[in-house]
Amino acid sequence: MIEELKTKLSSLEENYTLKIQSAATLKDLQDLQVAALGRKGELTELLKSLKDLSLEDKKTFGPLSNTLKNKLTALFEEKQIALEAAAVNEELAKTNIDLTLPAYTFDKGRRHPLVIAQKRMVDILSKLGFIWAEGPLIEDEAHNFDALNIPKNHPARDVQDTFFVKNAVKTGFVLRTHTSGVQVRAMQKQKPPIRIIAPGRVFRSDSLDATHSPVFNQIEGLYVDKNVSLADLKRDLTVFMKGLFGNKAEVRFRPSFFPFTEPSVEVDVKCVFCEGKDPSCPVCKGTGWKEMLGAGVVHPNVLKNCGINPEEYSGYAFGMGVERLAMFSLNIKDIRTFYENDVRVLEQF
Ligand code: PHE
């Protein structure tokens, strides 16, 4: 019996090797493959007799038939690739496409400089443990002003400075003038410790010139916990500026005023272009410093307005202009550069 099976194996081998070689189409090849290796294929059937053999015979017939199976599978694959290539070549021969010509290049596009700058800032702040938070661009006056201790007579509440939104149903809405409203939303929503940043667009009724735009971007930062002080603010913002401008960067804190922080500071960075050495430096105008952002210790009234007990918790907040920091770090002189989207300019980043 084993001899008979061996003969069958070799005639199968001879037969299919020939047939595979002469298969003319992919369809023919596929039919052949089914006939040989399919569920009811010839080799498959032959393998079924394995179970009737003695142990001794199984040991010879088993490996023999497996070798043939592998050999045929390889032949089928090889032939398939050859037939496919032939089909492509035949198609190409009918056209006049010259495959030796170089391919067209096309521009994949790239990140906008503002996006690059914002991402660098957000990446550093994320490493400092700040979580991204968001708020609406059309904000109610309560979040944009009242909760932030901004009095009714504050100039920001004048139509000259702020876009007020009126519709038939609701009044008391503005295009948010800063991202500080997100602070309020965060404190209303969660208990301390809170450590968030809120990047996003803000709007002011300014006309467009080299340093002003009615739409620009800010990143707000807020940290509230037990015993947070101005010292924490100074440490974190110094680390941030060094991360952004390099380890040599120097940071200066000047007293300032914001209704929602007390004390308040203005944060300057030593001019990275002249390092404070060039009295005619066009970037820092010879002052040696560039004002970067406003910050301070969260005013107790703001904590109270948001349902946080100022006896128990304290916090710091900062708000910075993405365009301003981007202009300084990328040496862009005109804020309009960011919005005109001249491809020749964008390509440089
Ligand atoms: N909201 C302020 C502005 O837009 C910046 C700021 C934020 C200042 C947080 C202090 C604390 O000018």
pLDDT in tens, 296-339: 999 999 999 999 999 999 999 999 999 999 998 888 889 999 99
Among candidates 191, 207, 195, 145, which has minimal Cα distance to 172?
145
Extents of the domains making up the chain: 2-94, 113-346
**Which among 139, 218, 258, 325 is the best mutation to test ligand 1's pocket, defined by most ligand atoms within 8 Å of the CB?**
258
Of 82-91, 185-194, 228-237, 253-262, which range is least confident? 82-91
Nearest CA to ligand 1 atom 5: 319
In the predicted structure, residue 266 carries a pLDDT above the cut 90:
yes
What average pLDDT does the structure give for the chain?
Answer: 92
Task: Check pLDDT > 70 for residue 145.
Answer: yes
pLDDT at 106: 84
pTM of the model: 0.71
User: Alpha-carbon distance 301 to 179, whole Å?
Assistant: 18
Q: Count of CB atoms within 10 A of residue 238's CB? A: 16
Per the listing, tokens 């390092």 go with: 275
Helix (H) or strand (E) run with residue 91 in it: helix 55-94
Q: How far is the CA of 89 from the centre of ligand 1 (A)?
A: 67
- Residue 287 tokens read as 């002052």
- Look up tokens 């004048």; give the residue: 158
Phi-psi region of 41 (alpha: psi -120 to 50; beta: other; left: phi over 0): beta
CA 233 to ligand 1 centroid distance, Å: 14
**In the chain, % of residues over pLDDT 90:** 70
262: its two tokens: 């007390």
**Which pLDDT score, from 0 to 100, does residue 58 have?**
87
Break the chain down into helix, strand, coil percent, rounded to 5: 45, 20, 35
pLDDT reported for residue 288 = 92
Between CA 136 and CA 144 the distance in angstroms is 10
Checking if the pLDDT of 49 tops 90, the result is no
Mean pLDDT value of segment 80-89: 92
Q: Identify whether the C-beta of residue 165 lies closer than 8 Å to the C-beta of residue 190.
A: no
* Ligand 1 binding pocket mutation candidate from 139, 178, 316, 322 (most atoms within 8 A of CB): 178
Tokens 């070549």 sit on residue = 89
Output the pLDDT for position 168.
63
| pLDDT(167) > 80 | no
User: Mutation test of ligand 1: which of 217, 260, 262, 264 has the most ligand atoms closer than 8 Å to its C-beta?
Assistant: 260
Token couple for 178:
């800063």
Residues with CB under 6 A from ligand 1: 178, 180, 258, 261, 294-296, 317-319
Tokens standing for residue 135:
């708020």
Indicate the CATH number of 113-346 among 3.30.930.10, 3.40.630.30, 1.10.1740.10, 3.40.50.300: 3.30.930.10
CA of 74 relative to ligand 1 center, distance in Å: 71
Per-residue pLDDT at 213 exceeds 70:
yes
Q: What are phi and psi of 106, to 5 degrees?
A: -140, 150
User: Which atom of ligand 1 lies at the shortest distance from residue 264's CA?
Assistant: 10
> Which of 150, 161, 180, 217 to probe ligand 1 with, by most ligand atoms within 8 A of CB?
180
pLDDT of 141 reads: 94
Token pair in block for residue 4: 């008979």
Q: How many angstroms separate the alpha carbon of residue 321 from the centre of ligand 1? A: 9
